[in-house]
Structures are given as C-alpha cells and as structure tokens.
Amino acid sequence: MSQGDVANTGQVVFAIEAFKRIHPVEFQRRFLSQETRHNGRGFSQFRATHVTKGTISTAQGSSTVRIGNTTVVCGIKAEVSEPDVKAPNEGYLVTNVDLSPMCSAHFRPGAPGETAQVSSEHLHRLFKGNVVDPESLCIEAGQAVWVLSADIVFVKYDGNVLDAAVIALTAALEDLQLPKAVFDSETGVVSADRTMGQGLTLRKRLFPATFSLIDGVYLVADADDAEEQLATATVLVVLDDNGHLVNIWKRGAGNISRETISRCVDDAGVRKATLTKELQDNTQKS
C-alpha cells in the first residue's frame, strides 16, 4: 500500500514503515501496550549474543561480539612504556570506543562524540583495578610496564553500546597473550619474546545487562536502536563471576523504583548465565 492511501472507511492508512517513521512513539506504544515489542521479543528478553575470541591475529587479544544486529570488534595491543612516577608498579589500560559513521547514521565523522567518550570512560572505570590488576602489567618496577590499548570498534550499531563493549572487552582480555618480556638493567631495553605468550590473570569477568524505560512506563531489556531513541531512562547492571554487583548505573529521570532496579538485578543474573556459556570455548580455530 502506498503512503497515505485513503481506505474505504475514510481513515488515512499508512504503510507500516511510514507509520514507524512519522509516529515512532505511537508505533512503539501499540506494541508495548500489548506486552510485546516491535522486534518480537518479550520485555525481559535479550537478543541472541555471539562471542568469538581471537578474531584479529595481529592483536595480542581480540574478540568479536554480536548482539542481534549490533556488531563490535575489540582488539588489544600491548606496548611497553614507562610507568607513572607516582605508581611505579602499575601498568595502564587504555580503552577507546569507536562509533564511526560507518556503523550508524547517528554518529558523525571527526572527533569522538559524547556517547563514544562516555562509554570509553565508563569502561575504563569498570575494568581498571576491578578486572585488570594494574600491578600484573609491571615488567620492571619504575622502568617498564605494559600498556594495554583496547580499541572497541563498532561495525554495526543497533543499540546497547555498553553491553556490547563490556562483553567484547571481557572476551578480548581473556584471549590476551602477553609476550614474555625481560628487562635488561644494563642497557635499559625490554626484549619481548612473541613466541612465549602468557595469559593475563583477570580478577573477575564482567557480565552486563542494560534495561531501558520507554514512554515512562515500559521497561525493556537490551533495547535496540529504535527503542533506545525513545528511552527516557536506562539502567545498566554489571555482575561479576561470583554474582556480586560491580555497577548499577541509572541515568535519565524516568521513574524507576527501587523494586524495579532489584528486578533488573535478578534479570541480569539470568543474562549472566547465558553469557557465561557464550564466553566459554569460543576461540576461533586458526
């Protein structure tokens, strides 16, 4: 049916795509009021998530994560640097989320936008110390430490940046093989043997779950791009292996009660079980 056809009843009938574009809120409301979502999922249903580790052979650690139509690639490059004078035993973890115009029309070329910067910073806050022990990145105190530069590049964007980024970085860190590095105190040179890789011991793994409040009433798990555009508030819950909480981050002033947040935490526990399975044995055979 073409746009704006007048049916026999005299009502203006839109093609569904036109309706979705012209009245996005009303479009979503029609589904949500019937306890369903435009993508066919239930309110607390997450999209199918696939994790593949070791997808980039030139990086020391890498992963590709797909959450529905959101695809993200994470690569970790390890470099040697001098430590900070104030913390001679501590290495660095540098996180960088890249949301280029290639992955969605929401993002513009040039300097990183707010979403990218805020996600990078949030990842850094979540992982530094909590997951990666900075002291485990020390090669020689006061002389040389590892710098882990984690680039998290979105290839396809369909909502839920933080979940995808946290899963991708967790998987890439698990995949990480650091070359055996030796510091020569006479020459002051670090020599690394790339054939002798060793994994990094992580303090914990992180399992994220994001919930979005749409239209002030409906709380949906793992919102896609169309739903995210209408969300007034979001809740991010991050759990670790032991089921302890690592982060509860509620933004936006929608009404999310205390009980709802604790329900989100319970749902995040269910999500964690699925993710644990997905994170195991998914190394790409090379």
Partner 1 sequence: MTRPDRREATQIRALHCALGQLSRVDGSAQFSLGDTSVLCGVYGPVDVKIYDEKLDRAHIEVKFRPDIGVPTTKDKWTESAVRQTFEQLILGQLHPRTLVQINIQVRQADGAVDAAAINAATMALVDAAIPLHSIVGAATCAVLESGAVVVDPTQEEVEQARSIHTLAFENKTTGSPAYVDSRGDFTMDEYNRCYDLCATSVERVLAFMRSAIESKVSKESKLSTT
- Residues in touch with partner 1 (CB under 8 A): 114, 117-118, 120-122, 125-126, 130, 232-233, 235, 240, 244-258, 260-262, 265
- What type of residue sits at position 282? N
**Minimum distance, C-beta of residue 238 to partner 1, in the bound complex (Å):** 9
**Contact yes or no for 178/208 (Cβ under 8 A):** no
Q: Nearest approach, Cβ of 204 to partner 1 (angstroms)?
A: 8
Give me the count of residues in the chain: 286
CB 124 → partner 1: shortest distance, Å? 8
Q: In angstroms, what is the minimal distance from the CB of 116 to partner 1?
A: 9
**What amino acid is encoded at 220 in this protein?**
V
Query: Which tokens in the block code for residue 136?
Result: 């485990």
What are the b/e assignments for 4-18, b being 16+ CB within 10 Å?
A: eeeeeeeeeebeeee
Could you give the angle at which helices 258-279 and 161-175 cross, rounded to 10 degrees? Answer: 40
Rounded least distance, CB 248 to partner 1, Å: 4
Residue 165 parent element (H or E): helix 161-175
Q: How far is the CB of 276 from partner 1 (least distance, A)?
A: 18
Nearer to partner 1, 64 or 120 (CB): 120
Task: Compute the radius of gyration of the chain from its Cα atoms.
Answer: 22
Distance of CA 96 to the CA centre of its chain: 11
Nearer to partner 1, 88 or 197 (CB): 88
Task: Decide whether 258 or 285 has the Cβ nearer to partner 1.
Answer: 258
255 or 280: CB nearest partner 1: 255
Cβ at position 160, least distance to partner 1 in Å: 17
* Ramachandran bin of 8, using left for φ above 0, alpha for ψ from -120 to 50, beta for the remaining angles: alpha
Q: What's the Cα-to-Cα distance from 205 to each of 25, 47, 102, 153, 157, rounded to whole Å?
A: 37, 20, 30, 20, 24
Angstrom distance (rounded) from CA 95 to CA 284? 23
> Alpha-carbon distance 61 to 78, whole Å?
9
Residue closer to partner 1, measured from CB, 17 or 241: 241
Closest residue by Cα to residue 158 from 265, 65, 30: 65
Give whichever of 244 and 285 is closer to partner 1, judged by the CB atom. Answer: 244
By beta-carbon proximity to partner 1, the closer residue of 98 and 175 is 98
